[in-house]
């Protein structure tokens, strides 16, 4: 395979006051994002979802292998199948797979084994991690740092959906193998994250949570 030829970066450098204004505006917009479990059935323009997925697919990845695949689900029957399968796994989790500390930590968030949002949200986006790739001759090609790469793409997708005016939830039923089966994905694709997407209901409430302040999440080393 020929190596890609270098091209001009096209980078735009901003004055420092503009940099700070843009950084603060982005923080204030992103900081309003909350996980939502009560969705309106109002449909979402498909072009918006496709654009957000393209944003996610522009993420950096190990050796530029782009080890992700997105499945967009809007079919009510498939959403119901996903809900039923997820609830089977979640009931087992709450019945014994999860320890008591885990269950107690989840209690303030109001979550349990019932997952109606998997049907109520107008769209589900399932992110798959490609453990390996295939070339034009269907020969296996190695992928690198797939967990890290897909994690970055997932974060970019959540940001893009929020900035587009949509509510989301990060859902990780465990185990998630049923998603590969229901969505007819090849063996190399492993379910990574299930994201219900839509508009919140008018009476939607969320827990009053507090995020860690900068002093708790940042260590600065500016000298020896």
pLDDT score of 4: 82
Residue 80: strand, helix, or coil = helix
pLDDT score of 95: 79
**Domains by residue range for the chain, with CATH:** 66-200 (3.40.109.10)
Q: Which tokens in the block code for residue 54?
A: 């393209």
Q: Specify the residue for token string 């084994």.
A: 113
DSSP for residue 109: G
**Tens digit of pLDDT for each residue in 97-145?**
878 888 788 887 778 888 999 999 999 999 999 999 988 888 999 999 9
Do 33 and 158 meet the contact criterion of CB atoms below 8 Å apart? yes
pLDDT score of 93: 77
State the pTM of this model: 0.94
Q: Which residues of the chain have pLDDT under 50?
A: none
pLDDT score of 1: 57
Cβ burial, residue 152 (10 Å; 0-12/13-18/19+): middle
> Of 169, 171, 127, which Cα lies nearest the Cα of 149?
127
């Amino acid at each position: 395979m020929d190596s890609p030829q270098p091209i001009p970066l096209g980078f735009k450098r901003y004055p420092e006051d503009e940099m700070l204004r843009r950084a603060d505006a982005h923080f204030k917009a992103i900081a309003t994002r909350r996980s939502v479990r009560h969705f309106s059935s109002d449909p979402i323009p498909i072009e918006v979802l496709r654009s957000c997925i393209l944003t996610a697919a522009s993420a950096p990845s190990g050796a530029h292998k782009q080890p992700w695949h997105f499945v967009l689900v809007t079919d009510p029957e498939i959403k119901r199948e996903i809900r039923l399968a997820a609830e089977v796994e979640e009931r087992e989790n709450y019945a014994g797979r999860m320890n008591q500390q885990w269950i107690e930590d989840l209690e303030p968030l109001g979550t349990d084994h019932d997952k109606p949002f998997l049907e109520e949200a107008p769209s589900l986006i399932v992110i798959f991690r490609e453990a390996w790739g295939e070339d034009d001759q269907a020969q296996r090609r190695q992928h690198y740092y797939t967990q890290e790469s897909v994690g970055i793409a997932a974060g970019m997708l959540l940001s893009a959906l929020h900035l587009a005016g949509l509510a989301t939830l990060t859902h990780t039923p465990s185990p998630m193998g049923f998603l590969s089966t229901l969505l007819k994905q090849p063996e190399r694709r492993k379910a990574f994250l299930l994201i219900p997407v839509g508009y919140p209901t008018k009476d939607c409430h969320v827990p009053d949570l507090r995020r860690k302040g900068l002093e708790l999440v940042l260590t600065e080393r500016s000298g020896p």
